[in-house]
Amino acid sequence: MKRPQKQYSQFVTFFFLVFSFSVYAQPDVADFKEIFQLRISETKTPIKIDGILDDPSWQTANIGGDFWQKVPFFAEGADPKTEVKLTYDDNNLYVAAKCYQKEKIIVQSLKRDEYWDNDGIAIILDPLNTRTNAFLFGVTAAGAQWDGLRASGDINSDWSNKWFSEVKVFEEYWSMEMAIPLRILRFSPDSDTWGMNFVRNHRNENEYHNWTAVPESFWPPDPAFAGSLIFETPPKPKKGNFNIIPFVTSSVTKARNEKTKLDADLGLDARVSITPTLNLDLTFNPDFSQIEVDELVTNLTRFSIFLPEKRTFFLENSDLFSDSGYPDVRPFFSRTIGLDSKRQAVPILYGARLTGNLTKTIRLGVMNIHSLASNNSNAQNQSALTIQKQFGRSFVKGMFLNRQGFDDFSAVDGDYGRNSSLEAAYVRDDGQLSTWIGIHHSFKPEVSGNTGFYTAGIEFNNPKWEGILAGAITQENYFADMGFVARIENYDAVRDSVVRIGFNDNIANLSYRIRPKTGIITRHNISTNNQAIFNPDWTLNERTNGLNYSIAFRSTAEFEIGYTSTGIALLFPFSFVSDGLALPAEQYDFSFLSAGFSSDERKLISYGFEGRTGGFYNGKLNQANADINFRVQPWGNLGFGYQWNKLDFPDEYGEETITALLSKLEIGFNKNLLWTTLFQFLDQSEYMGINSRLQWRFAPMSDVFLVFVDNYDVFNGIGGPKDIQSNNRALIFKINYWY
């Protein structure tokens, strides 16, 4: 077996030397629970949620103040001042905040879940004291709600639930009140202490403030640095805790060369608390027409791209399933559910998910979903089981997946795909150091040998340095029927076929940050990003080495410049253009420069551009992307984006210009009535489409949607065969009510 190149080994050695001298200890974060505490008492009088803090209970409640500045740099005594108070009764946790602010409030959108670009305040709740997972509830200074789930370093803002809030703006401050139903939280009745923190956005100074002293190298909502919310008496879980969300849809659809169709349908979503910490989600005949459409991107790689999940049913505790694996290889990827073998949408008959905590340290996830048959595939039943044992911030996790084809109610022999995963991660208590390892296998009929996928890595992060060294071995017979594998399928343009070849992926990235305390620049960042992909015999298939420098301004503007060197040993002929020969399978070495700038996003008009120039295989690639946004605070946003890509190869290999246009209009008549329209044109796939959605929230979490869709889709994946689809035009009406 050939060994990796000497140059790459030397870089790894250098990486570890830098790592050894750069990691240093910060104060023990275990002390946060002792240093930052807020005691709350049960209220005996009703709280009126009106944004005015005049209820008797607020007059006697303890005050949480003395916030810390988190961004642009770490500092004690955040200015302007913020005060928070909490109380509770049998049904709700009540939260109040007074945010002092003399400057004009900045609100860029009235849309739900558009939080970070607005003045606002949010509470982070970790009722089980996991220090890894949390609920987030926030409001902007205009009263728009934001909620989400935080897990494994990410925040999923597509998760939504039913709670109540109001905001009032005064001359020297604005105030807010929340009522969060206890039944939507997962907590133990035996614990009188929850993890808690706050994050406040102060957009005039481009600052974020925390109640606790979250270290500057970590994002403000990280529950690892939560303080203590101490109850006078632990709250009691509510019995009969369930929500029922029926919906009705009707549509008028016209496809090319087909008659106009009138359709109507019924469906049901439900959420049931099995225990205070374990939740069951059910869906019957679901409809996802109200979900925002994906924004398309130009793909100039040889492989598929990864788009995030937005469907609410799949979101709560989704990290139990979706975080397994490696960025380019995920055993479970929920976007595959509801698609047939040709990636065409098929109806889902039902779905059930049981997720949450069995104990404080054991998390469970069980899922079963059944989708109907199509012209391309049998009906599919997809199941997942995962269990995770936590040791502080570290964990061991196992997962098993099963996809089974069905004909009516009978399993089809030989139509299945199964996957098993076992992973472990060590995360140091201060979060600065983490390591992980994973072992994954797939099982398919008449496939044996080379069915594994293995991962390992180490990462560190402190106020100045951040680095990662990670690797993954993906064998050619590793299949992920319920997941995503980015580059195992290689398209051969000459034979018009796909060849599966395993690969070994290695990354080594290092960055250094400087955070000035004064001046217009708030951050300098210098980074080197390196990736080496080897064939199964450890011959080099592809390498990427990049050096980047970026600066962030206090005005929110940002600038970045970079240099990248790439080498690719192309295994099969491949074409990026439609009018030339496929590039031959040989070695290509090229480099390019890139740069980008984005302006102050708080202004009435904001803009950004980025470009690239240099080599691309045996030719050249010039790229330019530009966007501009017009904002009328707080109700209107109109944005335009344009992408230009000029591919120029030697004569026999052709040339091509690929463009894309995107326009998005958002109007908030008020925070409960919003109209969003997205227009997209991408000539790479000969796609043009309009998605226009009017949403009226007539009651909390209860909506009327009117959606107009007009798509022209002739899919032409780069280098791949054309698959002509009819254009579709539809008008969809949907109403759902949350009981």
CA distance 705 to 736: 9
| Residue burial 271-289, b: 16+ Cβ < 10 Å; e: rest | bebeebbbbbbbbebbbeb
Give a yes or no: residue 104 inside a domain: yes
Give the range of the structural domain holding residue 225, as residue numbers without chain letter.
Answer: 36-231
Residues whose CB is less than 8 angstroms from the CB of residue 227 and which lie 6 or more positions away in sequence, other chains included: 32, 33, 35, 36, 37, 38, 195, 196, 197, 211, 212
Is 84 inside any structural domain? yes
User: Rounded to whole angstroms, how far apart are CA atoms 472 and 470?
Assistant: 7
pLDDT attached to residue 655: 92
pTM: 0.84
**Helix, strand, coil percent content, the chain, rounded in steps of 5:** 5, 55, 40
Q: What are phi and psi of 304, to 5 degrees?
A: -75, 160
Secondary structure in 3-state letters for 475-535: CCCCCCCCCEECCCEEEECCCCEEEECCEEEEEEEEEEEECCCCCCEEEEEEEEEEEEEEC
Are 113 and 158 within 8 A, CB to CB? yes
- CA 355 to CA 281: how far, in whole Å? 8
Contacts of 361 (CB under 8 A, 6+ apart): 389, 390, 391
Query: Which parts of the chain register pLDDT below 50?
Result: 1-27, 714-726
Indicate the Cα dihedral angle 669, 674, 679, 680, nearest 10°: 140
* 74 domain-assigned: yes
DSSP string, 14-65: HHHHHHHHH------GGGHHHHSEEEE-B-SSPPP-SS---SHHHHHS--B-
Distance CA 119, CA 174 (A): 10
Contact predicate 121/191, CB 8 Å? no
Total domain count, the chain: 1
Instruction: Give me the pLDDT at residue 713, please.
Output: 58
Quick check: 324 and 421 in contact, CB under 8 A? yes
Residue type at position 295: E
Compute the chain's Rg from CA coordinates. 26
Which residues 6+ apart lie within 8 Å of 327 measured at CB?
Answer: none
Contact 490, 582 (CB under 8 A): no
- Phi (first) and psi of residue 519, to 5 degrees: 100, 180
Task: With respect to residue 12, please indicate whether it lies within any of the assigned structural domains.
Answer: no
* Cα–Cα distance measured from residue 226 to residue 420, given in angstroms and rounded to the nearest whole number: 34
What is the spatial distance between Cα 684 and Cα 719, in angstroms, rounded to a whole number?
11
> Is 590 a domain residue?
no
Contact call for residues 451 and 475 (beta carbons, < 8 A): yes
- Tell me the C-alpha distance between 531 and 487, whole Å: 14
- The answer as to whether 317 is a domain residue is no
The predicted pLDDT at position 28 comes to 64
What is the C-alpha to C-alpha distance for residues 116 and 471, in angstroms, rounded to an integer? 33
The reply to whether 202 falls in a domain is yes
10: amino acid identity, one letter: Q
Q: Cα–Cα distance between 471 and 508 in angstroms, integer?
A: 9
Taken in order 15, 18, 21, 24, is the CA torsion positive or negative? Answer: negative
Q: Any idea which residue has 């990427």 for tokens?
A: 544
Tokens found for residue 268? 């049901």
Residues belonging to the chain: 739
User: Are 55 and 45 contacting, i.e. CB atoms less than 8 angstroms apart?
Assistant: yes
HSE (side-chain half, CA atoms, 13 Å) at 718: 21
The answer to whether the CB of 150 falls within 8 A of the CB of 125 is no
The pairing of strands 145-151 and 154-156 is antiparallel
For residue 194, give the nearest of 152, 273, 134, 277 by alpha carbon. Answer: 134
Is residue 243 within 8 A of residue 187, CB to CB? The reply is no
Q: Residue 141 maps to which CATH number?
A: 2.60.40.1190
161 inside domain: yes
